Amino acid sequence: MTTSSRTPTYIIRPPRGWGIPDLGELWRYRELLYFLTWRNIKVRYKQTVLGVAWAVLQPFVTMVVFSIFFGRLAKMPSDDLPYPIFAYAGLLPWDFFAKAFNQAGRSLVSSRPMLTKVYFPRLAIPLAAIFSALVDFFIAFGVLAGLMVWYGVRPTPHLWTLPFFLLLALVVTIGAGLWAAALNVLYRDVGYIVPYIVNLLFFVTPVVYSSNLVPAKWRLIYSLNPMAGVVNGFRWALLGTPTGPDAGMALSVLVALLLLGSGLVFFRYMERYFADRV
Amino acid sequence: MSLAIRTHDLGKRYRLGGPAGGREYRTLRETLVRPWTWFRRERHPTLWALRHINLEVPAGQVLGLIGRNGAGKSTLLKILSRVTEPTEGYAELYGRVGSLLEVGTGFHPELTGRENIYLNGAILGMRRAEIERKFDAIVAFAGVEKFIDTPVKFYSSGMYLRLAFAVAAHLEPEILLVDEVLAVGDAEFQRKSLGKMGEVAASGRTVIFVSHNMSAILHLTQRAVVLDKGRIVFDGPTPDAVDFYLSAGVHRSGERVWTAEEVPPQAHPFRPHALRVRDPKGRVTDTFAAIHDITVEWEYSLAEPIRGLRVGIYLLTMRGEYVFTSFDTDDPAAYETWSERPAGHYVSRARIPGHLLNEGRYVLAVNASTFGHRTYFHEENALSFLVDATGAVGFQWPERRLGVIRPLLEWRIERLDERPQPLREAA
């Protein structure tokens, strides 16, 4: 047979060692990521009467219920802001995290036919699950703008930092989502554990209460939950609560980055088992 | 001529049994309650699904890959398409790889035909501009113009399949991997997809084609590789490879015995042991006179009772056409008696009458399933045997008889120009 002096397009070798997924390749497959995200959104609201209105309705109704029970009845302190707007500003990033984390955790297992039949960067699947939740986030964000006008709350001068906190929320969600998605391929228990973790995290995240309620000496440990940093940051940037950048938030950022880094490495390590085990 | 694919000592090992291998997945509890197993490796028996695969495929060649179920064909395609990773060795691919490992991957029933074309195209690695350019051709090939904006859940299965194949067929990669897509769909669709495959081959692209349909393999490929138990056992011109595969090379004459490793875990509780063909004297042989009965016997055991089990055979010609299908509970009485088959060791026997088959080589496929519910075990090309025309009907004329079967029909010859006198008398 002839030999070729050209360089191969791909070399297929046994996987070895540790590393992170090939992000350059993911970039080349960005259209797939776009189509998967678009499919998730499209499918989610097919054959629903309210359609995309669900993205608004869910956090809005939750906000109303919280306002009645925590705001009116329990008289929860809300950093001198109207409770509904205080709660909604926290629910916004929280709902995104809860939805996206859940969807990402289930994403690989529910894409079994794709994983076992076609090659593409596996990272695209959990990422598409997370990005599709981001669309709901932006729609729900519109309601917040309406609420701010209604209650006459002016945006703060540090509103420009909001994208940074959204990015932080994404980092946390992607990190946690990658862990859950990859683990779920081998251990289906993860499907049960994820909603439970989300429920528990809800109470250690300042969604219905202000983080000022947490005694100062516990504040740093409290900040180990990176979602605490996200929610505090959102409120600070949007409403001007006294929960701006501090040591606790720096810790949240650090934990979030560790989560993302370890999530990527773990995902890459587990990738080799996806097609055979899912 | 330059190379498209080169593999060097490629191998893939799977773990068998144990918590993670035999079943679909393990629960966290199984890992947590046995922490001493965390860092222990190789604690399960392993199986080399593929080993020492050295292949060089020149660009533009259409290579056939044949072998029985579990021989490693699909594993090889999965490694080359990068769905799964090898355990040892390496493979070099020169050019973009596309696979038709299963058509319609990623199709979503709620999305319209148009939306699915874009989604499926992206999954298969097409750019959006490329899909847009080929969109009309894809729709025309599938023949679904009128329903392109209807969700595919309302499509008939034929339309669905045609659309799925159309997207994949327009991928135009330099290297195309095809796994048994032609086994599905109606005759018209099969003809169309075979045509498309031929077109792809003629356009100078490299194709690796896996099929149990020897007729398609012979028709489409120039060279074929026969795999058996994960190794290459034959590599050469297609007609020789098909001959090798169907005759002495892989099959022991008149008998197919399944070893425990050859039976996939999904078959449980069904376990095939052996398939044999016997002549009227009870001898296991692979050559039969057309005038003699052929007894097919399939020996198997059930670890658990199965309700509604049917154990049967398909008879095919060497070119892959079905002659007939027959199950051991075809007879309503047998169907009643064996409505639930208890656990145990069985043999199901069937007699193929003499004076039925024409001369030539025939292939037996086996199937154990419950109707509409589950297929426990299925194997194409389980066994092949030869029918010799000696003494068969029409033997006085030494010519090749057309037709798959050569039945001994009851003929009456009547002469019409002489009135039969006795009739009038009787009246």
Q: A128 lies in a domain?
A: yes
Which amino acid is located at B357 in the chain?
A: L
Shared domain check, B212 and B83? yes
pLDDT of residue A167: 97
Shared domain check, B130 and B100? yes
Which amino acid is located at B62 in the chain?
A: V
Interchain contact, A6 vs B56, CB within 8 Å? no
Which amino acid is located at B125 in the chain?
A: G
- Only one residue has tokens 């989604």, namely B119
Q: A17 lies in a domain?
A: no
| A4 has a pLDDT exceeding 70 | no
Tell me if A262 sits within 8 A of A180, measured CB to CB.
no
| Residue A143 distance to chain B (closest CA, Å) | 29
The structure tokens listed for A48 are 């629903």
Dist. CA B120–CA B128, nearest whole Å: 11
Q: B17 lies in a domain?
A: no
Strands B88-93, B97-100: pairing is unpaired
Dist. CA A6–CA A10, nearest whole Å: 12
Dist. CA B101–CA B90, nearest whole Å: 21
Interchain contact, A12 vs B83, CB within 8 Å? no
Q: Which of B3, B81, B105 sits opposite A4 (nearest CB)?
A: B3
- Only one residue has tokens 């692979």, namely B286
Name the residue among A216, A202, A223 with its Cα closest to residue A98: A202
A277 vs A161, higher pLDDT: A161
pLDDT of residue B46: 78
Strands A10-12, B88-93: pairing is antiparallel
Dist. CA B354–CA B256, nearest whole Å: 22
A118 in contact with B, Cβ within 8 Å: yes
B94 in contact with A, Cβ within 8 Å: yes
Shared domain check, B334 and B216? no
pLDDT of residue B205: 86
Q: What is the pLDDT of residues B359-375, one digit of tens each?
A: 888 889 999 999 888 88
The structure tokens listed for A134 are 């981001």
Dist. CA B392–CA B138, nearest whole Å: 50
Q: What is the mean pLDDT of chain A?
A: 90
pLDDT of residue B172: 79
Q: A9 lies in a domain?
A: no
DSSP state of B405: B
DSSP state of A70: I
Shared domain check, B188 and B167? yes
Distances in Å between the alpha carbon of A80 and those of A7, A207, B413? 66, 15, 110
Dist. CA A54–CA A48, nearest whole Å: 9
Work out the average pLDDT over A44-67. 85
Q: What is the pLDDT of residues A174-221, one digit of tens each?
A: 999 999 999 999 888 888 899 999 999 999 999 999 988 888 888 889
Interchain contact, A1 vs B83, CB within 8 Å? no
Residues pairing with B170 in the sheet: none
pLDDT of residue B176: 86
Q: Which residues of B touch A6 (CB under 8 A)?
A: 2, 94
Dist. CA A29–CA B305, nearest whole Å: 49
Counting every residue, how long is chain B? 427
Counts of helices then strands in chain B (DSSP H, E): 10, 20
Number of domains in chain A: 1
The structure tokens listed for B375 are 């297929």
Q: Residue B210 sits in which domain range? A: 59-246
Distances in Å between the alpha carbon of A43 and those of A36, B66, B92, B108, B157? 10, 40, 39, 8, 21
Dist. CA B40–CA B328, nearest whole Å: 47
Shared domain check, B225 and B91? yes
Closest residue of B to A40, CA-based? B108
pLDDT of residue B23: 40
Choosing from B246, B275, B308, the residue where a domain stops is B246
pLDDT of residue B148: 93
**Contacts A–B by Cβ distance under 8 A:** 133
Instruction: Quote the ipTM score.
Output: 0.82
Tell me if residue B51 falls in helix, strand or coil.
strand
Helix (H) or strand (E) holding B188: helix B187-202
| A265 has a pLDDT exceeding 50 | yes
Which amino acid is located at A197 in the chain?
A: I
Q: Listing from the earlier edge strand, what are the strands of the sheet with B294-302? A: B255-257, B270-278, B294-302, B344-352
Q: Which residues of B touch A269 (CB under 8 A)?
A: none
Q: A6 lies in a domain?
A: no
B408 in contact with A, Cβ within 8 Å: no
Shared domain check, B299 and B242? no
Closest residue of A to B23, CA-based? A277
A278 vs A108, higher pLDDT: A108
Interchain contact, B94 vs A6, CB within 8 Å? yes
- Residue A155's pLDDT band, with cuts at 50, 70 and 90, is confident
Choosing from B192, B226, B246, the residue where a domain stops is B246
Q: Which residues in chain B come in under a pLDDT of 70?
A: 1, 16-44, 69, 101-104, 180-190, 247-252, 419-427
Q: Residue A247 sits in which domain range? A: 23-277
Secondary-structure breakdown of chain A: helix, strand, coil percentages, each rounded to the nearest 5: 75, 0, 25
Q: A1 lies in a domain?
A: no
Q: Which residues of A touch B125 (CB under 8 A)?
A: 29, 32, 119-120
pLDDT of residue B333: 92
Dist. CA A59–CA A88, nearest whole Å: 7
Q: Which residues of A touch B87 (CB under 8 A)?
A: 14
Dist. CA A214–CA A216, nearest whole Å: 6
DSSP string, B254-313: TEEE--GGGS-GGGTTEEEEEEEEE-TTS-B-SEEETTS-EEEEEEEEESS-EETEEEEE
Distances in Å between the alpha carbon of B80 and those of A63, A119, B5? 52, 10, 9
pLDDT of residue B7: 94
Q: Dihedral of the CA atoms B339, B343, B344, B349 (nearest 10)?
A: 30
Closest residue of B to A109, CA-based? B25
Q: B2 lies in a domain?
A: no
A8 in contact with B, Cβ within 8 Å: yes
Q: B46 lies in a domain?
A: no
Q: Residue B361: what are its φ and ψ, rounded to 5°?
A: -95, 135
Closest residue of A to B21, CA-based? A277
Q: Listing from the earlier edge strand, what are the strands of the sheet with B46-58? A: A10-12, B88-93, B3-15, B46-58
Q: Which of B28, B108, B125 sits opposite A39 (nearest CB)?
A: B108
Number of domains in chain B: 2
Instruction: Give the contacts of B99 (CB within 8 A, at least 6 positions apart).
Output: A117, A118, A119, B77, B81, B83, B124, B176, B177, B178, B179
B108 in contact with A, Cβ within 8 Å: yes
Dist. CA A187–CA A190, nearest whole Å: 6
Closest residue of A to B56, CA-based? A1
pLDDT of residue B30: 64
Tell me if A228 sits within 8 A of A252, measured CB to CB.
yes
Closest residue of B to A26, CA-based? B125
B111 in contact with A, Cβ within 8 Å: yes
Work out the average pLDDT over A68-77. 89
Interchain contact, B108 vs A275, CB within 8 Å? no
Dist. CA B26–CA B34, nearest whole Å: 12
Residue B163 sits in a domain whose CATH number is 3.40.50.300
Q: A8 lies in a domain?
A: no
Residue B349 sits in a domain whose CATH number is 2.70.50.60
Interchain contact, A4 vs B94, CB within 8 Å? yes
Tell me if residue B297 falls in helix, strand or coil.
strand
Interchain contact, B26 vs A187, CB within 8 Å? yes
Shared domain check, B221 and B269? no
